[in-house]
Amino acid sequence: MLDHVGFQCADLAASAAFYDAVLAPLGVTRQMDFQVAIGYGTDHPDFWIGGFNEGEGFRESHIAFAAADRAAVDAFFAAAVAFGAEVLHEPKVHPEYHEHYYGVFVRDPDGNNVEAVCHRPE
């Protein structure tokens, strides 16, 4: 289980706009905004984005956001496409993970692999 995850972003404003759009269908909102770091969650911030401030070059990260149902996965996908995100995998069942794994994979503005997934049947 994770306590929180954080990404460094090349353009914090662009990333914040992206996450505001794609996380809304999952019931996730901004919980804290320190201007240099923004925390998202449902009841506390467990996903953080901040300005790119350490390290060199790009290191792709992956994060999967839990969706309550398949409709939320589809809404996440629609928001990402409307935002212009690169689509890695459209929403579908991924039986290679398990029989009910319904997920979508896109790239955020920094090139990270971002997923929304529902583990429930139908």
3-state secondary structure of 117: strand
Instruction: Say what the pTM is.
Output: 0.82
Answer for the pair 100, 121: CB distance below 8 angstroms, yes or no.
yes
Please indicate whether residue 60 or residue 73 has the higher confidence score (pLDDT): 73
3-state secondary structure of 69: coil
**Nearest-angstrom CA–CA distance, 22 and 107:** 11
Mean pLDDT across the chain: 92
Count of domains observed in the chain: 1
Residue 50: pLDDT band with limits 50, 70, 90: very high
pLDDT confidence of residue 49: 95
3-state secondary structure of 95: coil
Residue 59: pLDDT band with limits 50, 70, 90: confident
CATH number at residue 20: 3.10.180.10
Give the pLDDT confidence of 62-115 residue by residue, as tens digits.
999 999 999 999 999 999 999 999 999 999 999 999 999 999 999 999 999 999
Q: 33: domain range? A: 5-52+60-118
